[in-house]
Amino acid sequence: MLPSITRRSNWPFNMPSLFDDDFWPVFTTRTSSMPAVNIKEDEKKFTLELAVPGMDKKDLKIDINEDVLTISSESKDEKEENRDGYRRKEFSYSSFCRSFQIPENINQDKIEANYKDGILTVVLPKVEEEKNKITRQIKIS
């Protein structure tokens, strides 16, 4: 049986948990697009998948602070062109930040992340529950 999950009430804002139906970002900076996130759960783990195509792995950042998992990114691109007496300089900036409350049954020391083919995958393993101990009676001779 899975433990019951509740929101933390000591936050000054509503922090979405991994169990909410609406995974709206808590902290949002100006951005050209907010990455879509899929959250899967099975008996052993939660898996978050963020679609961040075109991002470089070095631009992605994952932090944990007081049971809050924050995934963020900043990227800057500058281009300068000098040709035929014309000078052109362009730059772009994009960022995003998504935060989620981590349930109590997550082993934070074993969280892993992988970035491949534009998908950032974060695996949050659950704490292993003790198996029901077998009890038996010992006869006294």
Domain boundaries, the chain: 37-125
Mean pLDDT of 100-120: 93
Q: What is the mean pLDDT of the chain?
A: 78
Read off the pTM.
Answer: 0.63
3 state SS of 77? strand
71 and 120 in contact (C-beta within 8 Å)? yes
Amino acid, single-letter form, for residue 111: I
pLDDT bin (cut points 50, 70, 90) of residue 131 is low
Predicted confidence at residue 62, as pLDDT, reads 96
Q: What is the pLDDT of residues 31-87, one digit of tens each?
A: 446 888 999 999 999 999 999 988 889 989 999 998 999 999 988 888 888 888 888
pLDDT bin (cut points 50, 70, 90) of residue 16 is low
User: How far, CA to CA in Å, does 99 sit from each of 17, 34, 54, 65?
Assistant: 9, 12, 21, 10
Return d(Cα 16, Cα 38) in angstroms, integer.
Answer: 14
- In CATH terms, the fold of domain 37-125 is Immunoglobulin-like (2.60.40)
Q: Which of 11, 59, 58 is nearest to 31 (CA)?
A: 59
